[in-house]
Amino acid sequence: MRRTTVWSRLIIIAAFAFVSAITPALAQTSKIDAADTAWMISATALVLMMTIPGLALFYAGLVRKKNILATMAQSLASVAIVSILWAAAGYSLAFTGGGAWLGSLDRLFLSGMGMDSTNTLAKNIPESLFMLYEMAFAIITVALISGSVADRMKFSAFLLFGIGWLFLVYVPSAHWVWGGGFLSTMGVLDFAGGTVVHLNAGLAGLIAALVLRPRRGYGMENLSPHDLSMAVVGTGLLWVGWFGFNGGSALGANSRAAMAIASTHLAASTGAFVWMALEWWKRGKPSVLGMISGAIAGLGTITPASGYVLPWHGIVIGGLAGLVCFWACTALKERLHYDDSLDVFGIHGIGGTLGTLLTGIFATAAMSISSEMPNGIGGVLEGNWNQLKIQAIGIAVTGTWCAVVSFVLLKLIDKSVGLRVGIDAERMGLDISLHGEALQ
């Protein structure tokens, strides 16, 4: 019964998309740069590596033994399903055509994307590569959400949520900020995804955690991680992959990519250091989980700013990230009593928001020069208070839309297939109960 529902829905979506794939295709050609292509292929590989195996390891390392495979399954499925849907319609709706609200249907099923095609948003690399690069972003954003619902959400429900959320939240907000939508026209600065990726994923995660309610035994039983070493490995791969995430957002092999990587790496380092120092000071011991949490917080927070700031700004931003996200994952979380299993909100949601605001403060004209912005744009530090306001608007718009749609989606799924596994399944562990396999 339940399963049929799942499939029927999947089929409908696929069918719809395929039909419309017959629309006439456009093919724009232009000068493709081999060096930029060389770097962007590597960058794309790095960003995919962030999800598999990066995020899969990071999350799996934070759950109990009985849920390790189920956690990885969510990352794997995100890659498989988002990729197919991205090619089917996501890319076209987000990155082709300059509508204020949504893109076009010109590239349904990538129709008309030929050898020489390029996208006006990235004229120097093959369009197929640009499509893949942006695909990797959509993948990890959906996968990130799984951390909030770990240990209790139905696999089928997660897939349905991911599919709906991709088209209703990710695609539009990616278009608004990066695809020539109204937020980009408004001047919102988000280099690699403070709003589109991190705020979106973190907020959706929080909503999902609230709707799903806490894990059984939360606050009473010991729910500590089974094998933190997996999370450390995942962090390493995420960190390295972030070079492609932020550096690749320069869409070319140039100084801007290098500068973005410099501020990114320094933010990660400082975030790790600050979180470690805080734990050492407040709890007497610096934990490995604290270091990796700080690193990810720094990486998520610098993301929107990375292409617009100076390297040493990365140290400041990373430091603030460690401080604020530590507070969010401890004090704030305790006060609000929600069970965001792996702190997607506390780290990505808070970090993405913080970073988007800080971009409005640290943005440096000299760094943000580009074809669209010949003089670059400065932030508060360069006297431009207005930018901070614009950033705030970007956060408000993206956040509100994400929160509302995510909530409705979850409720719909809850009413139909149901969001949460039964109590016995949760006790036995999702590996066995949902996937019929387990670690020995």
Q: Which residues of this chain interact with another protein, rule CB under 8 A?
A: 220-225, 279, 283, 285, 287, 289-290, 293, 329-330, 333-334, 343, 346, 427, 432, 436-438
Binding part of the chain for its own copies, among 105-113, 325-333, 336-344, 383-391 by CB under 8 A, reads 105-113
Nearest distance in Å: CB 236, its own copies: 3
| Residues 300-329: x where in contact with its own copies by CB under 8 A, - otherwise, as a string | ----------xxx--x--------------
- Cβ proximity to its own copies, 101 vs 371, nearer residue: 371
Q: Are 126 and 106 in contact (CB under 8 A)?
A: no
- Residue 414's identity, in one-letter code, is D
Q: Which does 84 bind (CB under 5 to 8 A by kind): its own copies, another protein, none?
A: its own copies
Binding to its own copies in span 205-224, by CB under 8 A: 224
Count of residues touching its own copies (by CB under 8 A): 115
Q: Which residues inside 83-102 make contact with its own copies, applying CB under 8 A?
A: 83-84, 87
Query: Residue 339's closest CA among 329, 349, 347, 324?
Result: 329
Q: In this chain, which stretch among 146-154, 288-296, 338-346, 405-413 interacts with its own copies, using CB under 8 A?
A: 288-296
Interface region with its own copies, contact rule CB under 8 A, candidates 121-129, 196-204, 328-336, 343-351: 121-129
Neighbours of 22 (CB within 10 A): 10
Residue number with CB closer to another protein (40 or 289) = 289
3-state secondary structure of 309: coil
Q: What is the contact mask toward its own copies in residues 35 to 74, using x (rule: CB under 8 A)?
A: xxxxx-xx-xxx-xx-xxxx-xx--x----x--xxx-xx-
Helix or strand or coil: residue 252? coil
Q: What is the DSSP string of 15-75?
A: HHHHHGGGS-----B----HHHHHHHHHHHHHHHHIIIIIIHHHHHTTS-GGGHHHHHHHH
- Least spacing, CB of residue 421 vs another protein, in Å: 15
Smallest separation, CB 345 to its own copies (Å): 22
Distance CA 391, CA 188 (A): 5
Is residue 29 classed as helix, strand or coil in its secondary structure?
Answer: strand
Rounded Cα distance, 406 and 307, in Å: 29
Cα dihedral 191, 139, 297, 341 in deg (nearest 10): 150
- Please name the amino acid found at residue 404: V
Q: How far apart are the first and last CA of the chain?
A: 31
Asked if residue 16 binds its own copies (CB under 8 A), the reply is: no
Please report how close the Cβ of residue 352 comes to its own copies at its closest, in angstroms: 21
CB 340 → another protein: shortest distance, Å? 10
Cis amide bond preceding 225, omega within 30: no
Cβ proximity of 153 and 420 under 8 Å: yes
Q: Which stretch binds its own copies (CB under 8 A): 107-115, 188-196, 345-353, 416-424?
A: 107-115
